[in-house]
Structure 1
């Protein structure tokens, strides 16, 4: 378990004293001595920075450590961003139907543009960033559910007054591309599929961690997408290609620019869906995407309308690939750039993505060298697509497809009942609760 270092915080008064008592000097400094002095001074500056930063964090923690009424609840559900509400809303409704009254902590304000919460759900809007996590780190609850990884690693710390922490998945995935220790310090994980469960067990074995509870849950937000598909008219007319890549260094737009879109538009109708984060992190590239002629650019809040219209999707590493394939049962092409897994759990797991390999019949990997021939690959993917084969693989990879919110609510309710009965839960080295009898080695009902 990673611990916050206290060493730098103890050094910053010494650094301030040295800076205050510095005196001018005239002397020759050889290169070796100069380098040594540079490292000493830079070390002091870094120590001062982290000391002040640590002090600020401790002050916030002290403020929120005082027990306020709005920090106390039975079941806490934490949502760090509006885009994850689609995961929690169906679960909240199912919990309320079972007589559970959760408290929904959001790191943003909810206005009239959001779907109303059930009356039995208490909403608390808290600050984003460090201030919000300082508040959350002192919540009092029997159970806390979140989608945020790396509990007890970075800013998000365990509250001594929360008995059980659980993380639910907001996308189909595996442990390969998450940061180290993403799930290690949770008491349970509501897993999306078998691959994630196997990855977590392998990581536990390598690190020598106790086995946490792993539930066969699924993806609650898929049900919301299924509802949208049912009311949307099927695509008709000329073939529509939806281009919806991710953002950052592995994005198609970053790697290939935007000219390939115009190439596709000469043969097919095109909808371009730039990732919302591009507007913030890559504004110049985002502007170039908006300026592409002959295509429709979709910047709406969700991609649901564009997915309903499209016959085929072109993407890269974005999670939209699995949503489009599994919800709309249509083919996907991904530009298969080799991802560097340095600094992720992929370093520990080794090998290549099993999820990519299992889905390659309908989420077709295309080598980057073939970007100029992308229209040919689109035609082949459309001609060779088999919805029946896709459904078969989906059943193997996704738990409880179409019913995950009900299953998640049952599992959370079970955890809640157990933790209510645990008035004084035993403290363990890693903060894990024991796997209850009857759940078996995998911790699933």
Structure 2
């Protein structure tokens, strides 16, 4: 409550621009944008997070004020009464559930935290209540325009933003001498959901097969899998955690395992796209059912990007297929870089600062 009072008590000039972050795993998607705005303008910025471990809380800058506000009633009250010119966030479903648009005029900007399409994995209407959408690539622009046309929605401001995490992965890969790992290092990084690789039990069988074949394996589950399917994680850890070939990574904010591994095993996670485009390494997709949170996704008539791109950045393996043979047969990929915009932080900061001049 004190943080809410402190924020709401600021003079209007000090809270023209506000960022909201759900937690540590989303910081990498907002960090560069925040720092670029602070570096290239004198605009005061407020940064609100619901996670005490969020690195944004400890970032120091004369024009930055940070606030820790828990999820739940207090946060929902703040959102409904928010008085800021521009609100930047990477949490979809604004105004669909507990988190509402403010009763005051606020321009809401959505920042992508994945390269996947916007109409299958996300819930229907997830972006309807934003004023501006940061697009990672042309596919996002086409999808938003198709949704607007199909559902007679007001036209949004679309920003050719790019994808900061991908820029960061590419930058961090420069100068790293890539040695072929012996044994080969397999990164398992699926998405979450009842039919997905870990939750369905397929993940444990795959890890067993890989360890038996003397591959090095890193398991990097989605934060939501850790939260909702911890029994599956514990079962894998109890079996393999003392094996030198096995490593568990419980934080998806870092990049080390992406750079260190040779192949990713995935299902419908956007991490596969980051891996292939950022590092030009192949992905083995486990053919579990599509992750569909919008059963009407076909209404806009566009094949989701994460479906159409699969055979260009790796291959698809049946859920009961021979994972060892599939890995050995994976071909190197030439990931096309035309799928996304470059220099996300520069593009995004310019667009947001431009919005502030329009709202003032």
Label 1:161 to 1:110 Cα distance change in 2 as closer, same or farther (>3 A): farther
2:29 is equivalent to residue 90 of structure 1: no
Label 1:135 to 1:114 Cα distance change in 2 as closer, same or farther (>3 A): closer
TM-score normalized with structure 1 length? 0.72
Gaps of at least 5 residues in structure 2 are: none
CA radius of gyration, larger in: 1
Structure with greater proportional helix content: 1
Does structure 1 conserve the Cα–Cα contact (< 8 Å) formed by 2:94 and 2:100? yes
Label 1:245 to 1:76 Cα distance change in 2 as closer, same or farther (>3 A): same
Does structure 2 conserve the Cα–Cα contact (< 8 Å) formed by 1:189 and 1:213? yes
- Which residue matches 2:317? 366
**Aligned equivalents of 1:130, 1:366: Cα separation in 2:** 44
**Aligned equivalents of 2:76, 2:317: Cα separation in 1:** 41
Question: Alignment partner of 1:174: what SS?
Answer: coil
**Residues 360-399 of structure 1: pairs in structure 2 closer than 5 A:** 360-370=311-321, 373-381=322-330, 384-386=331-333, 389-390=334-335, 392=336, 394-395=337-338, 397-399=339-341
Does structure 2 conserve the Cα–Cα contact (< 8 Å) formed by 1:273 and 1:303? no
Does structure 2 conserve the Cα–Cα contact (< 8 Å) formed by 1:71 and 1:139? no
Question: Alignment partner of 1:333: what SS?
Answer: strand
Label 1:114 to 1:262 Cα distance change in 2 as closer, same or farther (>3 A): farther
**Aligned equivalents of 1:173, 1:273: Cα separation in 2:** 19
Does structure 2 conserve the Cα–Cα contact (< 8 Å) formed by 1:163 and 1:419? no
Deviation at 1:248, TM superposition (A): 2.7
Could you report, residue by residue, the CA deviation over 1:106-153 in whole angstroms, capped at 9, with x for unpaired residues? 112357797624332111221212321211221111111111112222
**Aligned equivalents of 2:49, 2:298: Cα separation in 1:** 33
Does structure 2 conserve the Cα–Cα contact (< 8 Å) formed by 1:79 and 1:106? yes
Deviation at 1:70, TM superposition (A): 4.1
Could you report, residue by residue, the CA deviation over 1:17-57 in whole angstroms, capped at 9, with x for unpaired residues? xxxxxxxxxxxxxxxxxxxxxxxxxxxxxxxxxxxxxxxxx
Label 1:105 to 1:71 Cα distance change in 2 as closer, same or farther (>3 A): farther
Deviation at 1:358, TM superposition (A): 2.9
- Which residue matches 1:131? 74
Question: Alignment partner of 2:128: what SS?
Answer: coil
2:204 is equivalent to residue 254 of structure 1: no
CA RMSD of aligned residues (A): 2.6
Does structure 2 conserve the Cα–Cα contact (< 8 Å) formed by 1:144 and 1:162? no
Deviation at 1:206, TM superposition (A): 1.2
Gaps of at least 5 residues in structure 1 are: 1-59, 421-445
2:350 is equivalent to residue 414 of structure 1: no
- Which residue matches 2:264? 313
TM-score normalized with structure 2 length? 0.87
Label 1:220 to 1:299 Cα distance change in 2 as closer, same or farther (>3 A): same
**Aligned equivalents of 1:289, 1:357: Cα separation in 2:** 32
